[in-house]
């Protein structure tokens, strides 16, 4: 790869929200960004009776406008065959991969409703299929392409919900699970130049949180006032990918707001999103023991 060759990324779940913003930020950095998700040209997702805007086609256009190349690939991450073909296409067209952002997750519209888990729909558990299992499958197929470079990154989108009660046990298990994926995959990647990290994002300004925030203003208004934009987190991920010390961070769960301060990254208006470490807890440190 020459100095002028664009780096190649895949962002899963990029039709809208966090994935879309991350993809746009990577495009602004000049990357070629593959975008996966179910909403190819129009959205079919609803929240509180409202249609959630966004599609892969719209995200690809936004990536292009930002200065990168957006490539939309419709893919249902519940279907292993579709995921396998997604990575086969990247290999055919690019021959390698520099960055995988595991962001896709099925978020049920009743996720943030008050009440215990047994009073909510059983389908909340789907986040363990698309969100946890799907991240493993994507990483499995990404690994050979990342290894071709001798350097690369798998980034898992996680949250403080991995360490504290947040939205119930299914959501918490998914976030804790991807943190453990990063820790254990980093062991397998040792010495290869490929890193794996999990990232705790703060509250996000997305189409989904705008609707949820209006419905639960008592709980979310203060958080959303200082919330992060997905583009902010995309800039942090890009800085991580370029960091010469990336390998020293492999396997860790990191707070993006804290990374941003170290990299000199802020929101567009100069605002520095806060870390919620003291309020919501800190990432778990894995025990160094290894049982092979």
Cα–Cα distance for residue pair 78/213, rounded to 1 Å: 28
Q: What is the predicted pLDDT for the residue at 53?
A: 73
- pLDDT range class, residue 32, cuts 50, 70, 90: very high
Q: What is the mean pLDDT of the chain?
A: 92
Q: What is the predicted pLDDT for the residue at 284?
A: 94
Half-sphere exposure of residue 264: CA atoms within 13 angstroms, side-chain side: 1
CATH code of the domain in which 115 resides = 3.40.50.720
Q: What is the predicted pLDDT for the residue at 106?
A: 94
Residue 35, token pair as written in the block: 């975008």
pLDDT exceeds cutoff 90 at 205: no
Stated pTM of the model: 0.94
- pLDDT range class, residue 47, cuts 50, 70, 90: low
Tell whether 203 is covered by a domain. Answer: yes
* Annotation marks residue 171 as catalytic: yes
- pLDDT range class, residue 187, cuts 50, 70, 90: very high
- pLDDT range class, residue 5, cuts 50, 70, 90: confident
Q: What is the mean pLDDT of residues 109-137?
A: 95
Range of the structural domain that residue 156 is part of: 8-280
Q: What is the predicted pLDDT for the residue at 212?
A: 64
Alpha-carbon distance values, 269 to 27, 212, 265 (Å): 20, 24, 11
Number of domains forming the structure of the chain: 1
Q: Which of the following is catalytic: 34, 171, 220, 276?
A: 171
Three-class SS of the chain: CCCCCCCEEEEECCCCHHHHHHHHHHHHCCCEEEEEECCCCCCCCEECCEECCCCHHHHHHHHHHHCCEEEEEECCCCCHHHHHHHHHHHHHHHCCCCEEEECCCCCCCCCCCCCCHHHCCHHHHHHHHHHHHHHHHHHHHHHHHHHHHCCEEEEEEEEHHHCCCCCCHHHHHHHHHHHHHHHHHHHHHCCCCEEEEEEEECCECCHHHHHHHHHCHHHHHHHHHCCECHHHHHHHHHHHHHCCCHHHHCCCEEEHHHHHHHHCCCCCCCCCCCCCHHHHCCCCCCCCCCCC
Range of lowest pLDDT (114-128, 153-167, 187-201, 223-237): 223-237
Q: What is the predicted pLDDT for the residue at 4?
A: 75
Q: What is the predicted pLDDT for the residue at 54?
A: 79
pLDDT exceeds cutoff 80 at 151: yes
Tell whether 290 is covered by a domain. Answer: no
Tell whether 2 is covered by a domain. Answer: no
Tell whether 139 is covered by a domain. Answer: yes
Q: What is the mean pLDDT of residues 161-180?
A: 98
234 C-beta neighbours (distance < 10 Å), count? 30
pLDDT exceeds cutoff 60 at 2: no
**Residue 210 backbone phi and psi in degrees, to 5:** -65, -40
Biggest alpha carbon distance in the chain?
Answer: 56
Q: What is the predicted pLDDT for the residue at 209?
A: 67
Q: What is the predicted pLDDT for the residue at 183?
A: 98
**Spatial CB neighbours of 215, under 8 Å, sequence gap ≥ 6:** 48
Tell whether 286 is covered by a domain. Answer: no
- pLDDT range class, residue 218, cuts 50, 70, 90: low
Residue 69, token pair as written in the block: 């190349």
- pLDDT range class, residue 191, cuts 50, 70, 90: very high
Cα–Cα distance for residue pair 150/130, rounded to 1 Å: 29
Cα–Cα distance for residue pair 197/101, rounded to 1 Å: 10
| Strand-pair partners of 47 | 50
pLDDT exceeds cutoff 80 at 49: no
* Top-confidence residue, 251 or 109: 251
Q: What is the mean pLDDT of residues 208-237?
A: 77
pLDDT exceeds cutoff 70 at 267: yes
């Amino acid at each position: 790869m020459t100095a002028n060759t664009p780096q190649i990324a895949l962002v899963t779940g990029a039709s809208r929200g966090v994935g879309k913003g991350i993809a746009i930020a990577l495009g602004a950095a000049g990357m070629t960004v593959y975008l996966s998700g179910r909403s190819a040209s129009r959205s079919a997702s609803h929240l509180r009776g409202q249609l959630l805007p966004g599609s892969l086609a719209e995200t690809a256009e936004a990536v292009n406008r930002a200065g990168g190349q957006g490539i939309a690939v419709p893919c249902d991450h519940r279907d292993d065959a579709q995921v396998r073909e997604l990575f086969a296409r990247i290999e055919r067209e690019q021959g390698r991969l520099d960055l995988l952002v595991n962001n896709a997750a099925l978020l049920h519209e009743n996720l943030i409703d008050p009440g215990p888990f047994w009073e909510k729909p059983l389908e909340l558990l789907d986040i363990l299929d698309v969100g946890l299992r799907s991240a493993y499958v994507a990483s499995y197929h990404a690994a050979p392409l990342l290894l071709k470079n001798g350097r690369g990154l798998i980034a898992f989108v996680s949250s403080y919900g991995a360490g504290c009660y947040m939205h119930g046990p299914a959501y918490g298990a998914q976030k804790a699970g991807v943190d453990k994926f990063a820790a254990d995959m980093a062991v397998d990647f040792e010495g290869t130049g490929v890193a794996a990290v999990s990232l705790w994002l703060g509250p996000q300004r997305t189409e989904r949180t705008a609707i949820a925030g209006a419905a639960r203003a008592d709980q979310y208004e203060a958080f959303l006032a200082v919330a992060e934009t997905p583009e902010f987190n995309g800039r942090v991920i890009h800085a991580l990918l370029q960091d010469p010390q990336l390998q020293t961070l492999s396997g860790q769960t990191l707070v993006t707001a804290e990374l941003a301060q170290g990299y000199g990254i802020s929101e567009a208006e100069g605002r520095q999103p806060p870390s919620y470490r003291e309020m919501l807890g800190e990432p778990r440190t894995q025990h160094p023991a290894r049982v092979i």
